[in-house]
Amino acid sequence: MEFKLFSKLASLEGIDLYMLLGALVVLGLLIWAVAAYAKRTKAKPTDAPEAAAGKPGRTQVLVYGALSITLAFVLSYFKLFTLPYEGSVTLLSMLPIFAYAAYFGPARGFTAAFAFSLLQVIQGAYIIHPIQFILDYFVAFTCLGLASFFPKNLPLGAAVGGFARMMASTVSGVVFFGSYAADYGFTNVWAYSLVYNFFSIGVDTILCVIVASLPPVQRLFKRVFSKA
Rounded percentage of the chain residues whose pLDDT exceeds 90: 50
**C-alpha to C-alpha distance for 225 and 68, rounded to whole angstroms:** 11
| 98 pLDDT more than 50 | yes
Task: Give the confidence band of 39 by pLDDT, cuts at 50, 70, 90.
Answer: low
Give the pTM: 0.79
Are 30 and 77 in contact, with CB atoms under 8 Å apart?
Answer: no
pLDDT of residue 85: 65
pLDDT of residue 15: 63
- 117-154 burial string, b = 16+ CB within 10 Å, else e? bebbeeeeeeeeeeebbebbbbbbbbbbbbbbbbeeeb
Query: Could you read off the pLDDT of 125-136 as tens digits, one per residue?
Result: 788 888 999 999
What phi-psi label fits residue 39: left (phi over 0), alpha (psi between -120 and 50 degrees) or beta? alpha
| 158 pLDDT more than 90 | yes
The mean pLDDT of the chain is 83
pLDDT of residue 55: 62
**C-alpha to C-alpha distance for 34 and 164, rounded to whole angstroms:** 31
pLDDT of residue 87: 77
* CATH code reported for the domain at 2-225: 1.10.1760.20
pLDDT of residue 23: 61
103's CB contacts (< 8 A; 6+ apart) are 151, 221, 225, 228
